[in-house]
Structure 1
Amino acid sequence: MGLLRKIFSEINIPQAVYKELLLLKDYGIEVSIFSASWIKVSSPTDSSILNDLKDILDNGEAEAIALSLELKADLLIIDEKKGREVAKSFNLMFTGIGGVLIRAKALGVILEVKTYLQRIRTEGGFYLSEKALKTILQAAGEEL
């Protein structure tokens, strides 16, 4: 999350995603960062769109998209394929963890994307196909 702080001045996290993030403490991951003042936790208020989204997405993705729409967010960070398709249908600007890391490298916050992706995959249990890994690394100007 320290990496995110160096890239974004504020992050809005929906309540459902916040609850998912707090579960990381069960895996020995420090979660106190999620209480930082630059991280805002809130829930979308438009229940009609939220309920429609919950019919096709998990709670976290549904709330993230609904909140992004309400806040007219500059960028939505979302990795699930189905969620990205729905975000695209709403013309939301979005990126995934790979895009965040590419941005961090471009800003000089990190030196290489590959190390972070490998760590996220091994320590964080984040699934990323070899094809996606290769695509991200190519976009970052790195090799597999």
Structure 2
Amino acid sequence: MKPNDRQLIIADTGPLIALAVSGQLKLLQQLFEQTLIPEAVLNELCISSSRPGAVALASALDAGWLRAVASEPPAKRLLRTLDQGEAEAITLAGHQNLPLLIDEARGRIAARKEGIKFFGTGALLIQAKRQKLIPEVKPVLDQMKASGYRISPPLRQEILDRAGEAFE
């Protein structure tokens, strides 16, 4: 799924951290009306820590466009293969009938099985470039990688191809 302009979304932990550490968390605010997270994701973000990106995430929560909300307990089948944050994010997306921003492969497989529409950070960056919010995707991916965010070389190349930056 491609992110649509100014809708509500649910987000998992990984993409939020990746965007925060690369200085691109603001893209969520520019592309969506509000980003909702379940409480388990809020806990995983470690907002009160000195981790990279924590200040940006805390600021987004204070501003209100990133908002933690209560979620129903996730189904046990989700918790067999996913961490609490991913399971709660999928559950919340299902109950709210909202798209889910998630990157982790197991989480995407589970979301698909649950009938949840989802997209990844790569799709979000491509949409941001199309809307001229960022000039290029590659520098953002480079910053994410430098901050420790893992992305497979084939997926990186696919994202760059789709962004029209297939020069690697």
* TM-score with structure 1 setting the length: 0.89
d(CA) in 1 for partners of 2:140 and 2:65? 23
Report the equivalent of 2:156. 133
Distance 1:65 1:128 in 2: 21
1:33 to 59, 68, 73: 59
**Is 1:76 matched up with 2:100?**
yes
- In the alignment of these two chains, the number of paired residues is 140
* 2:103 alignment partner, SS class: coil
Give the Cα separation in 2 of the matches to 1:51 and 1:96: 24
Aligned-residue CA RMSD in angstroms? 1.6
Note the residue ranges of structure 1 that are not aligned, 5 or more in a row.
none
Give the structure 1 partner of residue 85 of structure 2: 60
- The answer for the alignment partner of 1:103 in structure 2 is 127
Name the % identity: 34
Distance of aligned partners of 1:27 and 1:139 in 2 relative to their CA distance in 1, 3 Å threshold: same
Deviation string, structure 1 residues 106-144 (Cα, Å, up to 9, x no partner): 111111100111101112x11001111001100111022
Residue 42 of structure 2 corresponds to residue 18 of structure 1: yes
Gaps of 5+ in 2: 1-24
More helix by share: 1
- Any runs of at least 4 consecutive aligned residues in structure 1 with deviations exceeding 3 A, and if so which? none
The amino acid across from 2:69 in the alignment is S
1:116 and 2:144 correspond: no
- Change over 3 Å in CA distance of 1:105–1:41 after alignment to 2: same
The structure showing larger relative contact order (alpha-carbon pairs under 8 Å, at least 6 residues apart) is: 2
